[in-house]
Structure 1
Amino acid sequence: MDPPINRTGGTRTMRHPGVAFFDFDGTLIEGDSLPAFVGEVIGRHRAHLALADAIRSGVHRHLRGRGRGIDLRGTIKAVFIRRTLQGVALADALAAAERLARRVRWHAPMVEAMLEHRRAGRRVVVATGALDLYMPALLRGKGVDDLLATGLEVRDGHLTGRLCTGNCVRQDKAHRVRAWLAANGPFGESWGYGNHPCDLPMLALLDRGTVVRIRR
């Protein structure tokens, strides 16, 4: 839709009341959703062993300059996903997402903050390194307007084990949040919630950034 025309000359921009961006793992929920999701797909014990093996392999690959990601954590993540999810039927993965949705441990203060932004009429966006495959099931009913997540490739009804977008963390997440703001703004004010240090690049873009620490 074309923006409304300012009759006094130029384009009249509409300012929305505001927008709030929330990280997911370690912010809206306790812990990391990816190993939990893989555990629902292949079993928790196998997922634990696969993660330990991916850490060893990822460190080795990264030190030799053969990492699949742009940093060590990204390399470990790519190896873990490839070795555990390649060839899994999409229907089985979606069923695993539904099971995971029943087990997620929500961080109550952040869920309440999200609801407060909704009640104030602000847009709510979740920006996360978690996979876009399972996030819709986990966010269902939470009043989230948009999702920025890591894309997982699906071909012929099966997961390939390869990412089809950048890993939506750190600088990649910040770039995607900046692009979202440019495409959907302007906004009267912006908020951000994330953990340290991974979400600092995103929080630096926003008017009010909050570092979340979940006590265990």
Structure 2
Amino acid sequence: MTPPAVAAFFDVDGTLTTGTTLFRFLEYRLAADGFPPSAYRGARQRLKAMTAVGVPRAVTNRAYFENYANLTEARVAAVAEDWFRAELRQGGFFNPAAVAAFRSHAAAGDLTVLVSGSFPACLAPMARYLGADLVLCSQPEIRDGRYTGAVHAPMIGVEKASAVRRLVAERAVSAAHSWAYGDHDSDLPLLELVGFPVVVGDEDRVLADRAARLGWRRLPGAAVPPPALPSYEPAEG
């Protein structure tokens, strides 16, 4: 009898990475397009203010993508490639413990899946670098090759779980034999879907309490935040 297919689902920001890809890339992209540092600080503060008053993460995720309105898909993708190379040169971008777990699943032949509120431009170079099999993420609206600033169904909270349920059904994956990794209480719907949930880091009290009560596995988070990125440097050639 063929054993059930096994998958390993990884949240990205704060789980595989030590920082938030959406914000690190936005800062880099604004610099690449000639904006002063105050432009990023303003955009970041607006989103922080929304979070501070209790705006749901799915709503702030939508607000984030307004920063890309009218940009071409090709331009954003090219800058994202430069950004990721800059992150690798700088170091400190990945959480070593989570990456080691990812590579262990890959070596075992498990289906490796990134599940993120981030978007394809940011995640494509990372998925290639890690060798991820699939990416489930937010999909900003693009019309005639340009971002509109809108996003449909941000991949946050229950949307992560819904996307994973669809994949499990389509790929005949056994959720009971599969793994999921997350660092924030918004990852709970995903973690609760699988037989082997893993909490990364100890900053989220909801997840820490759930892990202690249910005996979920734990992985250390990043010891230090990633360093600030250098100025924008386009790829040579």
| TM class, shorter-length | 0.7 to 0.9
Q: What CA distance in whole angstroms lies between the structure 1 residues aligned with 2:20 and 2:119?
A: 11
Aligned CA RMSD, in angstroms, stands at: 2.2
Paired residue for 2:81?
A: 98
Q: Gaps (5+ residues) in structure 2?
A: 202-220, 225-237
Identity, % of aligned positions: 27
Paired residue for 1:7?
A: none
Q: Gaps (5+ residues) in structure 1?
A: 1-12, 64-70
Task: Note if contact 2:65-2:140 (Cα within 8 Å) is conserved in structure 1.
Answer: no
Task: Note if contact 1:17-1:121 (Cα within 8 Å) is conserved in structure 2.
Answer: no
Task: Note if contact 2:28-2:83 (Cα within 8 Å) is conserved in structure 1.
Answer: yes
Q: 1:77 aligns with which of 61, 71, 96?
A: 61
1:169 and 2:156 correspond: yes
User: Could you say which structure has the higher helix fraction?
Assistant: 2
Q: Deviations over 1:77-129 (max 9, x none)?
A: 222321x2111122220112102212150111111111111111111111111
Q: What CA distance in whole angstroms lies between the structure 1 residues aligned with 2:125 and 2:200?
A: 23
Q: 1:195 aligns with which of 174, 183, 186?
A: 183
Q: Secondary structure at the match of 1:25?
A: coil
Q: Secondary structure at the match of 2:181?
A: strand
Number of residue pairs aligned between Structure 1 and Structure 2: 193
Q: Secondary structure at the match of 1:91?
A: helix
Q: What CA distance in whole angstroms lies between the structure 2 residues aligned with 1:14 and 1:95?
A: 42
Q: What CA distance in whole angstroms lies between the structure 1 residues aligned with 2:2 and 2:150?
A: 39
Paired residue for 1:140?
A: 128
Q: 2:42 aligns with which of 15, 25, 49?
A: 49
Paired residue for 2:145?
A: 157
Q: Deviations over 1:124-167 (max 9, x none)?
A: 1111111123211222131211110000111122111111x311
Paired residue for 1:212?
A: 200
